[in-house]
Amino acid sequence: MKHEIEQALRPIIGEPLTAMWRYAGNQKFEFGVQRPCKNRKGEEITRADLGLVVSCHWRMDAPDGGYISSEDYGPNGARYRDELNGPVIERLLIT
């Protein structure tokens, strides 16, 4: 899959795809040289100069009717409905 993504995007971006990862319902593609940096938690990571974030609407349903969805996350890591999401996530992981 990485090869196909790189073939499609490299002519547009002009740099090789060097990393891809997911967070809060988004997929991030990083292009170019990975350089050392620190994340918001102060942990050592690498990051490229160019990044493309792709998002879509999603929803995961728990067996009891609860759910968690992309609408529970906002800009800059904001999270909504945390008082409801914790138990829903636990139930989804258990079942």
Same domain as 93, residue 79: yes
Are 46 and 63 within one domain? Answer: no
Judge if 46 and 77 occupy the same domain: no
d(Cα 29, Cα 2) in Å, to the nearest integer?
10
Higher-scoring residue by pLDDT: 83, 46: 46
| C-alpha separations of 6 from 20, 23, 43, 56, 72 in Å | 11, 20, 28, 20, 30
Residues spanned by the domain of 63: 57-95
Q: Which of 4-8, 21-25, 31-35 has the lowest mean pLDDT?
A: 21-25
pTM score, whole prediction:
0.56
Average pLDDT rounded to a whole number, residues 45-56: 88
% of the chain surpassing 90 pLDDT = 17
Q: Are residues 64 and 23 in the same domain?
A: no
Q: Provide the number of structural domains found in the chain.
A: 2
Cα–Cα distance measured from residue 70 to residue 56, given in angstroms and rounded to the nearest whole number: 8
The verdict on 6 and 51 lying in the same domain is: yes
Q: What values do phi and psi take at 17, rounded to 5?
A: -75, 120
Please check whether residues 70 and 52 belong to one and the same domain: no
38 and 80 in a single domain? The answer is: no
Q: Do both 77 and 92 map to the same domain?
A: yes
Measured from the Cβ of residue 70, the count of other Cβ atoms closer than 10 Å reads 15
**Residues 56-76, mean pLDDT to the nearest whole number:** 75
Residue 47 predicted with pLDDT over 90: yes
